[in-house]
Amino acid sequence: MSKTVPVQKNDFIEVMFEDLTHDGAGVAKIEGYPLFVANGLPGEKAKIKVTKVGKGYGFGRLIELVEKSPYRVDAPCPIYKECGGCQLQHLSYQGQMVAKEKQVREVLTRIGKLEDVLVHPVLGMEEPWRYRNKSQVPIGEHEGGLIGGFYQQRSHQIINMESCLIQQEKNDEVVQVVKEICSRYGVRAYNEVEHKGLLRHIMVRYGLVTGEVMVVLVTRTNDLPNRQKLVAEIVERIDGLKSLVININNKKTNVIMGDETQVLWGQDVIYDYIGEIKFAISARSFYQVNPEQTKVLYDKALEYADLSGEETVIDAYCGIGTISLFLAKTSKKVYGVEIVPEAIEDAKRNALLNEIENAEFAVGEAETVIPRWYEAGIKADVLVVDPPRKGCDEALLRTILAMKPKRVVYVSCNPATLARDLRILEDGGYKTIEVQPVDMFPQTMHCEAVARIELRE
């Protein structure tokens, strides 16, 4: 081991951190060998203990900071070190913006070989706390009562949490009330080892503009004790409640939601707005968790689409139609495609809700439906993609290159796959003009970005 790796397990060494990993650990290099150390920040010198050594990289534990980063702050959350929900509370918000811009620039250069693309400074939040409009809290038991919170890092141990600094305060308040009522009416927490018990998760959705609240009880069976009393008390005690739903998930799985959803009280959706567009949000709808920054992101996508009102636009991975409906306001026709049938039902409902008649939605894989449209003579002037973390499917990228829309707007939640896909588009005759990172998830390492891509003459 010592011939190839310059450190040994249990060594005490002094290091300089030069970067952050995608989960917020500091990266130090010893003769080119990377060591990942939780709580280290770029520019800091520290004494560490080497805890694990592999062929290509190792891990260490921070023992003492010798030189601190000017961006280091005390994390305001009391359970920050135990909880796995955030990674960057010990880095000031200004420092987070610097790290995220660097992350986007570096992957564009390293993975995409894109040296001359204009990368703008990150668009951040004025108030980078209390932004999440959806809370999904795993439920456990402690000393006879229900507890709920985040899982401890790299474990399934639940850290009980009364307040989360990146959740809307309303969500925290609702989770506490529901937990207390369920506890009192004898609802037992689900035990994932024995596959017994009932309540797996409490999910709360909150409409930031409308103030409407949805509560979803995710349970193993439909057998809710004291159902009528429990429902009546939840309805009485939660202001703004419009929807109370039970979702049954009887599988041994760490997937949160099951396939069956029943309304216990109220309606099956709540409503909220992004800009002037109204959205119906069901228990299983995908809806952006930071609506304030979603508006920033979509405004940028709209600017890069540069629509005059005469264009045909295709929105691949359209979800519940969020971007499509923004695009429809300033284009001739929008076609949206999405693999999740419920999302397409939501998209159609949202188009009707906003009296938008020039948007059409189809269920299926973007990489199958769009080539079919192309063969049928539907050709996009502008194509918008907002793929999952794994990026665009190769077949879709080939179709884009064959269809040759004048502009492609790429909305990305993973800079690494964005860089990979931009390289393919560049090699196929496109030019990446500019990239705008947007901070949708303050206090975490996640960074979204929008790229403006144009067909070369």
Of 423, 451, 392, the residue nearest 113 (C-alpha)? 423
Residue 350 in tokens = 């949202």
The secondary structure element, H or E, covering residue 323 is helix 322-328
Rounded Cα distance, 28 and 20, in Å: 9
Residue with tokens 């979702």: 247
Tell me: the pLDDT tens digits for 205-222? 999 999 999 999 999 999
Question: What residues are labeled active site?
Answer: 413
Average pLDDT on 25-29 reads: 97
Tell me: the pLDDT tens digits for 310-339? 999 999 999 999 999 999 999 999 999 999
Q: What is the pLDDT of residue 285?
A: 86
Tell me: the pLDDT tens digits for 68-108? 999 999 999 999 988 878 999 999 999 999 999 999 999 99
Of 107, 36, 108, 98, the residue nearest 70 (C-alpha)? 98
Other C-beta atoms closer than 10 Å to the C-beta of 172 total 19
For 58, residues 6+ apart whose C-beta sits below 8 A from its C-beta are 5, 7, 33, 34, 35, 36, 50, 51, 52
Q: What is the pLDDT of residue 226?
A: 95
pLDDT above 80: residue 1: no
330, with CB counted inside 10 A (0-12, 13-18, 19+), is middle
Q: What is the pLDDT of residue 2?
A: 47
The secondary structure element, H or E, covering residue 229 is helix 227-237
Domains and their CATH numbers in the chain:
12-67 (2.40.50.140), 98-126+290-455 (3.40.50.150), 134-274 (2.40.50.1070)
**What DSSP designation does 196 have?**
B
Rounded Cα distance, 171 and 127, in Å: 18
Dihedral sign of CA atoms 234, 239, 242, 248 in order: negative
Q: What is the pLDDT of residue 150?
A: 83
pLDDT band at 3 (very low <50, low <70, confident <90, very high): low
Other C-beta atoms closer than 10 Å to the C-beta of 259 total 10
Q: What is the pLDDT of residue 40?
A: 97
Tell me: the pLDDT tens digits for 155-204? 778 888 989 999 999 999 999 999 999 999 999 999 989 999 999 999 99
Query: Does residue 252 contact residue 191 with C-beta atoms inside 8 Å?
Result: no
pTM: 0.92
